[in-house]
Structure 1
Amino acid sequence: MAASLKSPFPVTRLLPCSPKPLALPKPKLHVRAARTESGGVVIGSRAPYFELPEPLTGKVWKLDDFESYPALLVMFICNHCPFVKHLKKDIVKLTKFYMGKGLAAVAISSNSTITHPQDGPEFMAKEAKLFNYPFPYLFDESQEVARAFGAVCTPEFFLFKKDGRRPFELFYHGQFDDSRPSSNIPVTGRDLSRAIDCVLSGQKLNFMQKPRFSIPAIKDIRNPYWIKEEIVAAIRNL
């Protein structure tokens, strides 16, 4: 059995008429996170094929480009998400460490630039350069790749293993760690780093996977009703 790798991360309501103008409260849009169980790939299933551009370099990356690696980490992130911002520096730190141990990693943004212009290719390139991403940061404009994976939130982490010539199989799909933007729990990357340790050392996952705790931020651009849904949610929070 291969030796375990040592990680640097610790284990409308209508208003009545009034002769005086009413001061209406401003709508408050609350950012709500959720533990989500989406469709798409399940543990043991093959990695969906992708072929996406990297805004920073203009290069097109494919799943086949990572065939020689024993493990592949696919991360669905974006620029604006507070949960991604909370983890960003540690995501870079963790991936850089494990890429030096044989891990392949790639990040994908599937967010609609109609709803979030700041997640567009130009800003993705700036983000990747600013934070010195050690992995390619790809743009899934059609959102087809996100749907294939079943990714509906940011961040989402899909860790795949590869045995010889066999295709990549999903090994881990869970949280980064227990830290949240609203909590006092420090960011450690404990869950994801433990999973990577296991996959790189050829061991089975030795702990229970916790669902990612993140924001359902990847809006389906084919669905014209999501805007109505968000407005209704905002009104309910008045």
Structure 2
Amino acid sequence: MARTESNMLPLGTKAPQFKLTDTVDNTKKSLQELKGTKGTLVMFICNHCPFVLHVSSELSQLAKDYISKGINCIAISSNDVANYPQDRPELMAEHAINEDYIFPYLYDQTQNVAKAYEAACTPDFFLFDSDLSLVYTGQLDDSRPDNGIPVTGKDLRAAMTALVNNTPINPDQKPSLGCGIKWK
């Protein structure tokens, strides 16, 4: 299992705009139309990464817990599907349905969106406030597929709860760790 850390985009960075295809309903969706009233969580994930598979049910639960509180969630896969066919859009749609993702699972075919966000790994998390300014980037929690620590989402949940409650978000943020994005 390759281990790649996130790049930790500077806090305050404005969310790069995008319009990508949602693999579940095959429609184009933009950040502007998907953003939440309180905030927006952009997650770079994929179908096959053991780090993503390890936290997949927590990603589904996060969305269920926070969308109703005004934080919309968006997942994006930017992997090269020629060399990693398990990440093809039709399999992304199947994965989203099987994992009960209630958020859009978008395909970044050109990889331009991943580059704009400086995404490095899967999973890679970017939490933006209502003005689309970055307030949290980093890990979901300390759990990894091989370390025996339960998946709780504590780090990202703390940031999302603070955003909902309009309280300060801890600026001491640990990078996410996962498989490197599969670049073309």
Same fold (TM over 0.5): yes
Residue 50 of structure 1, CA deviation:
0.5
Larger CA Rg, structure 1 vs 2: 1
Are the structure 2 counterparts of residues 67 and 103 from structure 1 closer, same or farther at C-alpha, using a change threshold of 3 Å?
closer
Aligned counterparts of 2:34 and 2:104: Cα–Cα separation in 1: 12
Aligned counterparts of 2:35 and 2:153: Cα–Cα separation in 1: 25
Alignment of 1:15-26 (within 5 A): none
Question: 2:19 touches 2:29 (CA, 8 Å); kept in 1?
Answer: yes
Alignment of 1:180 with 2:144, yes or no, is yes
Aligned counterparts of 1:91 and 1:175: Cα–Cα separation in 2: 12
Residue 67 of structure 1, CA deviation:
4.7
Please report the RMSD computed on the Cα atoms of aligned residues, expressed in angstroms.
Answer: 1.3
Deviations 1:2-22 (A, max 9, x none): xxxxxxxxxxxxxxxxxxxxx
Aligned counterparts of 1:149 and 1:34: Cα–Cα separation in 2: 16
Structure 1 segments (4+ residues) deviating >6 Å: none
Residue 110 of structure 1, CA deviation:
0.2
Are the structure 2 counterparts of residues 48 and 207 from structure 1 closer, same or farther at C-alpha, using a change threshold of 3 Å?
closer
Aligned counterparts of 1:185 and 1:67: Cα–Cα separation in 2: 32
- What SS does the aligned partner of 1:97 have? helix
Q: For 1:219, give the aligned amino acid.
A: K
Q: For 2:2, give the aligned amino acid.
A: R
Residue 68 of structure 1, CA deviation:
5.5
- Listed as ranges, the gaps of 5+ residues in structure 2 are none
Match of 2:182 in 1: 219
- Listed as ranges, the gaps of 5+ residues in structure 1 are 1-30, 222-238
Deviations 1:3-61 (A, max 9, x none): xxxxxxxxxxxxxxxxxxxxxxxxxxxx23133426xx421010000100011101111
Alignment of 1:155 with 2:119, yes or no, is no
Deviations 1:41-97 (A, max 9, x none): 421010000100011101111011035611000000000000000000111011211
Aligned counterparts of 2:34 and 2:90: Cα–Cα separation in 1: 25
Question: 2:6 touches 2:138 (CA, 8 Å); kept in 1?
Answer: no
Aligned counterparts of 1:87 and 1:136: Cα–Cα separation in 2: 17
Match of 1:93 in 2: 61
- Structure with more of its chain in strand, by fraction: 2
Match of 1:195 in 2: 159
Aligned counterparts of 1:179 and 1:68: Cα–Cα separation in 2: 27
Match of 1:122 in 2: 90
Identical residues among aligned pairs (%): 42
- What SS does the aligned partner of 1:37 have? coil
Aligned counterparts of 1:137 and 1:64: Cα–Cα separation in 2: 16
Aligned counterparts of 1:170 and 1:214: Cα–Cα separation in 2: 21
- What SS does the aligned partner of 1:173 have? strand
Q: For 2:182, give the aligned amino acid.
A: K
Aligned counterparts of 1:77 and 1:134: Cα–Cα separation in 2: 15
Alignment of 1:32 with 2:2, yes or no, is yes
Question: 2:7 touches 2:118 (CA, 8 Å); kept in 1?
Answer: no
Q: How many equivalent residue pairs? A: 184
Match of 1:105 in 2: 73
- What SS does the aligned partner of 2:2 have? coil
Question: 2:38 touches 2:69 (CA, 8 Å); kept in 1?
Answer: no
